[in-house]
Amino acid sequence: MASTATFLAKTPIRTTPFPKTLKSDPSPGSRLSFSLVAGARRPARAIRSCRIACALIEPDGGQLVDLVVPAGPAREGRRREAAALPKVRLSRVDLEWVHVLSEGWASPLRGFMRESEFLQALHFNSLRLPDGSVVNMSIPIVLAIDDTQKKAIGNQRKVALVDANNKLVAILSDIEIYKHNKEERIARTWGTTAKGLPYVKEAIQNAGNWLIGGDLEVIEPIKYNDGLDQYRLSPVELREEFLRRNADAVFAFQLRNPVHNGHALLMTDTRRRLLEMGYRNPILLLHPLGGFTKADDVPLSWRMKQHEKVLEEGVLDPETTVVAIFPSPMHYAGPTEVQWHAKSRINAGANFYIVGRDPAGMKHPKEDRDLYDADHGKKVLSMAPGLEKLNILPFKVAAYDVKKQKMDFFDPSRPQDFLFISGTKMRDLAQNRKDPPDGFMCPGGWKVLVEYYETLLETVTNGSVTHFPGVQKQGSSKQR
Amino acid sequence: MASTATFLAKTPIRTTPFPKTLKSDPSPGSRLSFSLVAGARRPARAIRSCRIACALIEPDGGQLVDLVVPAGPAREGRRREAAALPKVRLSRVDLEWVHVLSEGWASPLRGFMRESEFLQALHFNSLRLPDGSVVNMSIPIVLAIDDTQKKAIGNQRKVALVDANNKLVAILSDIEIYKHNKEERIARTWGTTAKGLPYVKEAIQNAGNWLIGGDLEVIEPIKYNDGLDQYRLSPVELREEFLRRNADAVFAFQLRNPVHNGHALLMTDTRRRLLEMGYRNPILLLHPLGGFTKADDVPLSWRMKQHEKVLEEGVLDPETTVVAIFPSPMHYAGPTEVQWHAKSRINAGANFYIVGRDPAGMKHPKEDRDLYDADHGKKVLSMAPGLEKLNILPFKVAAYDVKKQKMDFFDPSRPQDFLFISGTKMRDLAQNRKDPPDGFMCPGGWKVLVEYYETLLETVTNGSVTHFPGVQKQGSSKQR
């Protein structure tokens, strides 16, 4: 996937939407301090008086967490120390969570959850801090170990976390080991225990019966070496980019699907509304999720190619758009997960969050219905503890207007003129090399999708059943 | 069950622990205003300076809700109005919730939950009020209707709630009808969807697929006519009783089981500790749950007889104990439900809450283990949003000390001297007319239990299987 990076560099756009900021060592010395909350549910009048110099929204807990050990003697010291510690091997998803934690997306969380944090996440979707304030935290960020590992750890207070190749990744200190009640965790997180939830199959079902929490020190920044690392900007780097661009509002758009013109319309319209509210330079954070996704989602590398086309062809304005990868794995936990998607973007500097229909939703794994009510995501988000400072922008419904021959906001006075093109429909069209209606997606973006589905079709075995093994075969840890 | 009331009146105790306050019409005019929070997690020094005249803890939302329509023209007007409204028939459990809501146990909730309240209860175990403050609310208090009822209601804004005999109970106004996703409700409330949860079987499984929320006006105070109504004191009446007794601290003990001497020791010890903290007149609210319980729990009427013996025989001091019935049905939802048990007691004036091992817990309905971790209840309670003002008193473990031949706090230095007598063990003993060890329970209390199990044994059909139909046969709606 080095091709994406090369391709982007060649793109003849005015300002690359993929910030040129190179990932630097995120040592504490380079951290900014964020002391002002900008635009948090203020009345429009107050917002109008906000000057461009407004600071970005304050991260949860007041300061971004940075868990990467500074290069040099400290790092070498940790390596020596780790050699003598019991080892816990991380799965791919575990490693994604180490990445998430290390860069402060879950600030003020400083490591895998101990039981008190786990229980608060499960029951209250939030954490109470020592000063009595509350931050949102809806998804348990936990590390499972099995009986053998627990026994090997014994009474030791620290463990070394290693990757699949036994390479040292991090040290977990002041550890607490507690029961992993999978049924309860699943029920409270997903609101169902039906078999077939993608994250459960990937990361919980076969995981150990214990959870180990503690303070995390990550030896060096997490890299995937898949040609996309330069787009994995940390919250600190995103904040630097927003400040560099003189953003006085940042609106985040979480996605795990290709961008069609309905999405683009929504993002463009959001910027227009923010300008009307008195902001002078609202910046869009187009923020595709980069961690674990289910097998039938379009893989990250193809999505990144598609997003690039959307900017290259001017559907979104590169001047006011930052595209970066959000390193979290996907839970598909609907109203519970959308809070995590929003909270982590506060830490990245966003003070506006666009929420759509059925965010982080999917079909029920066993019943013929959506798992979540399509409206619950935005309702829960608007009421969630710890997200009061975030402005929630509900999605207007966009659909294909057959009269105007373009994507437009749905007009309930003439429903017959609108065509809803679902993800499934889009996939069917691309797989069968049929074109979508004009104006549904920019041609270059559509071509990327067709190419992707062609790589899948090459693996069809007998012409009647479409398998998706190609997704797994592409070799990158980010390809699902 | 009129016998219980008669019996109590005859009991020759110094001060009846069952307050003599007769239930009066709880019209708004009789409401007290509670403006001070007493003793909420204050340091001991601050507590010592608290004078006896301290007000009781403030109810959630600042004022106790009272939903009973005042007798007279207003009440008659509602009756006339209701005649023309669509009718929704209440189940026994629904009626218990109407009772709970009507007296303000769930303050500031003013009726069955609308969707925004339902979602907040499910996801956050709390409700955010218009002023931004947060109150605890962990259990959905909802009313289910089926498709036919929904159709009959149509676009009307009010419905009449009637009992099994079609007698008018209440009017629900400004209604909102929304989907009853049973699977999600069960998963998020119980942390499992395993078949066999008692409340689910009783009140959810066969309920309708819609929920109807709205503002409740209850035509007249809810009565059960089972001889126990006089012990169903409302939060207002309890507060009046605590003030009458000059309580400067109220500590609540929720229970649904017979009181043994270990419980009594704990309650006595709690009072001793509160006196040491500087309180001068701590009052115990011994508060058995009176609503729906599972079939193998001891029925309310027998528990009330047993509690009375405990006071009559001086195991608890009637001078400093108030016994009353808490009208809520039981969920058996462990850490989620214990919050409801605590929150409702704030509304009744308690500023201390005793929490035991595995509160509101039970065996997993399908697996050979407890459904909840025994420590999660007290942990969740200590962190729960909206309960910060309540002092949580964790249970010390009491067991039978075979050396001292009495119930005492477990001493980990000599575990071999302690005998743990479980509910199952206690039931086996009583059923087989065997005596428990001396000092386990006061003799009169034990005799009540033996009598209860004798009534059950009378229904054993073939000597090898014990059935519990007698529980249902006793005719009272409170007998399960």
Please give, one letter per residue, the 3-state secondary structure of chain A: CHHHHHHHHHCCCCCCCCCCCCCCCCCHHHCCCCCCCCCCCCCHHHHHCCCCCCCCCCCCCCCCCCCECCCCHHHHHHHHHHHCCCEEECCHHHHHHHHHHHCCCCCCCCCCCCHHHHHHHHHHCEEECCCCCEEECCCCCCCEECHHHHHHHCCCCEEEEECCCCCEEEEEEEEEEEECCHHHHHHHHHCCCCCCCHHHHHHHCCCCCEEEEEEEEECCCCCCCCCCHHHCCCHHHHHHHHHHCCCCEEEEEEECCCCCHHHHHHHHHHHHHHHHCCCCCEEEEEEEECCCCCCCCCCHHHHHHHHHHHHHCCCCCHHHEEECCECCCCCCCHHHHHHHHHHHHHHCCCCEEEECCCCCCCECCCCCCECCCCCHHHHHHHHCCCCCCCEEEECCCEEEECCCCEEEECCCCCHHHEECCCHHHHHHHHHCCCCCCCCCCCHHHHHHHHHHHHHHHCCCCCCCCCCCHHHHHCCCCCCC
Q: Is B347 helix (H, G, I), strand (E, B) or coil?
A: helix
* List of chain B residues whose C-beta atoms are within 8 Å of the C-beta of residue A119: 335, 376, 379-380, 383
Please report the sign of the dihedral spanned by the C-alpha atoms of residue B369, residue B372, residue B377, residue B383: positive
Q: Do A376 and B125 touch (CB under 8 A)?
A: no
What pLDDT is recorded for position B423? 74
Question: Which pLDDT band holds residue B4 (cuts at 50, 70, 90)?
Answer: very low
Q: Do A187 and B183 touch (CB under 8 A)?
A: no
Interval B171-212: pLDDT, tens: 999 999 999 999 999 999 999 999 999 999 999 999 999 999
- ∠ at Cα A47 (A45, A52), nearest 5°? 140
* Domains of chain A, residue spans: 18-28+227-326+332-457, 35-218
Count the Cβ atoms, other than its own, within 10 Å of residue A212. Answer: 25
- Spatial CB neighbours of A124, under 8 Å, sequence gap ≥ 6: A385, B124, B125, B126, B383, B384, B385
What pLDDT is recorded for position B425? 83
* Residue of chain A nearest B388, judged by CA positions: A132
Q: Do A188 and B188 touch (CB under 8 A)?
A: yes
Q: What are phi and psi of B7, to 5 degrees?
A: -55, -45
Q: State how far Cα A275 lies from the chain centre.
A: 26
Mean pLDDT (whole number) for B123-132 = 97
DSSP B242-281: HHHTT-SEEEEEEESS---HHHHHHHHHHHHHHHHHT-S-
Question: Which pLDDT band holds residue B401 (cuts at 50, 70, 90)?
Answer: very high
Distance CA B461, CA B13 (A): 41
Instruction: Say if strands B168-179 and B210-218 run parallel, antiparallel, or are unpaired.
Output: antiparallel
Q: Do A120 and B383 touch (CB under 8 A)?
A: yes
Distance CA B423, CA B305 (A): 18
The DSSP symbol for B191 reads S
What pLDDT is recorded for position A397? 82
Distance CA B211, CA A131 (A): 38
Distance CA B333, CA B200 (A): 10
Distance CA B297, CA B303 (A): 10
Res. B354: pLDDT tops 60: yes
The DSSP symbol for B445 reads H
Residues of B at the A interface, defined by Cβ within 8 angstroms: 115-116, 119-120, 122-126, 128, 132, 134, 138, 179, 181, 183-184, 187-188, 190-194, 335-336, 372-373, 376, 379-380, 383-385, 388
Q: State how far Cα A184 lies from the chain centre.
A: 24
Q: Do A379 and B191 touch (CB under 8 A)?
A: no
Q: Do A184 and B191 touch (CB under 8 A)?
A: yes
Specify the amino acid at residue B373: D
Distance CA B11, CA A473 (A): 81
* Residue of chain B nearest A337, judged by CA positions: B123
- For A183, the closest of B123, B126, B192 (CB atoms) is B192
The terminus-to-terminus CA distance of chain B in angstroms comes to 14
What pLDDT is recorded for position A42? 36
Q: Do B380 and A119 touch (CB under 8 A)?
A: yes
What pLDDT is recorded for position A457? 76
Q: Where are the beta strands (DSSP E) in B320-462?
A: 321-323, 352-355, 391-394, 398-401, 406-409, 418-419
Q: What are phi and psi of A282, to 5 degrees?
A: -70, 135
* List of chain B residues whose C-beta atoms are within 8 Å of the C-beta of residue A138: 123
- For B192, the closest of A115, A187, A379 (CB atoms) is A187
What pLDDT is recorded for position B394? 86
Q: State how far Cα B174 lies from the chain centre.
A: 28
Residues of A at the B interface, defined by Cβ within 8 angstroms: 115-116, 119-120, 122-126, 128, 132, 134, 138, 179, 181, 183-184, 187-188, 190-194, 335-336, 372-373, 376, 379-380, 383-385, 388
- For A336, the closest of B123, B181, B385 (CB atoms) is B123
Give the fold, CATH level 3, of A18-28+227-326+332-457: Rossmann fold (3.40.50)
Q: Do B188 and A184 touch (CB under 8 A)?
A: no
Q: Which candidate, B309, B345, B298, B308, places its Cα nearest to that of B230?
A: B308
Q: What is the token pair recorded at A275?
A: 């300008």
Q: Do A192 and B179 touch (CB under 8 A)?
A: no
Query: For residues B34 and A130, which has the higher predicted lDDT (pLDDT)?
Result: A130
What pLDDT is recorded for position B459? 63
Cα of B185 to nearest chain A Cα, Å: 7
Q: Which candidate, A287, A186, A305, places its Cα nearest to that of A235?
A: A287
For B13-40, b where at least 16 C-beta lie within 10 A, e where not — what string?
beeebbbebeeeebeeeeeeebeebbbb
Res. B119: pLDDT tops 60: yes
Which has the minimum average pLDDT: A8-22, A341-355, B352-366, B391-405? A8-22
Q: What is the number of residues in chain B?
A: 480
What pLDDT is recorded for position A421? 84
* List of chain B residues whose C-beta atoms are within 8 Å of the C-beta of residue A373: 179, 181
Mutate to test the interface with A, among B138, B184, B195, B210 (most CBs of A within 10 A): B184
Q: Do B193 and A188 touch (CB under 8 A)?
A: no
What pLDDT is recorded for position A375? 95
Q: What is the token pair recorded at A130?
A: 């020592």
Interval B224-266: pLDDT, tens: 999 999 999 999 999 999 999 999 999 999 999 999 998 999 9
Interval B92-114: pLDDT, tens: 999 999 999 999 999 999 999 99
Res. B37: pLDDT tops 60: no
Give the Å distances, CA to CA, from A195 to A166, A180, A338, A371.
32, 18, 22, 12
What pLDDT is recorded for position A425? 83
Res. B50: pLDDT tops 90: no
* Residue of chain B nearest A122, judged by CA positions: B123
Interval B156-175: pLDDT, tens: 999 999 999 999 999 999 99
Res. B131: pLDDT tops 50: yes
- For A184, the closest of B138, B181, B192 (CB atoms) is B192
* List of chain A residues whose C-beta atoms are within 8 Å of the C-beta of residue B336: 123
What pLDDT is recorded for position A395? 79
Q: State how far Cα B480 lies from the chain centre.
A: 14
Mean pLDDT (whole number) for B438-446 = 93
Distance CA B21, CA B237 (A): 8
- For B373, the closest of A181, A376, A383 (CB atoms) is A181
Query: For residues A25 and B76, which has the higher predicted lDDT (pLDDT)?
Result: B76
Res. B30: pLDDT tops 50: no
What pLDDT is recorded for position B398? 86
Q: Do B119 and A376 touch (CB under 8 A)?
A: yes
- Spatial CB neighbours of A28, under 8 Å, sequence gap ≥ 6: A66, A70
Cα of A176 to nearest chain B Cα, Å: 15
A292, A199 Cβ separation under 8 angstroms? yes
What pLDDT is recorded for position B460? 54
- The class that CATH gives domain B35-218 is alpha beta
What does each of the 480 residues of chain A score in pLDDT, given as a tens digit?
333 322 332 233 333 445 444 343 333 222 222 222 223 333 333 333 333 345 899 999 999 999 999 999 999 999 999 999 999 999 999 999 999 999 999 999 999 999 999 999 999 999 999 999 999 999 999 999 999 999 999 999 999 999 999 999 999 999 999 999 999 999 999 999 999 999 999 999 999 999 999 999 999 999 999 999 999 999 999 999 999 999 999 999 999 999 999 899 999 999 999 999 999 999 999 999 999 999 989 999 999 999 999 999 999 999 999 999 999 999 999 999 999 999 999 999 999 999 988 999 999 999 999 999 999 999 999 999 999 999 999 877 888 999 999 999 999 999 999 998 877 788 888 888 888 998 899 999 999 999 999 898 776 544 443 333 333 323 333 322
- For B123, the closest of A120, A125, A132 (CB atoms) is A125
Q: Is B6 helix (H, G, I), strand (E, B) or coil?
A: helix
A416, A377 Cβ separation under 8 angstroms? no
Q: Do B119 and A190 touch (CB under 8 A)?
A: no
Specify the amino acid at residue A86: P
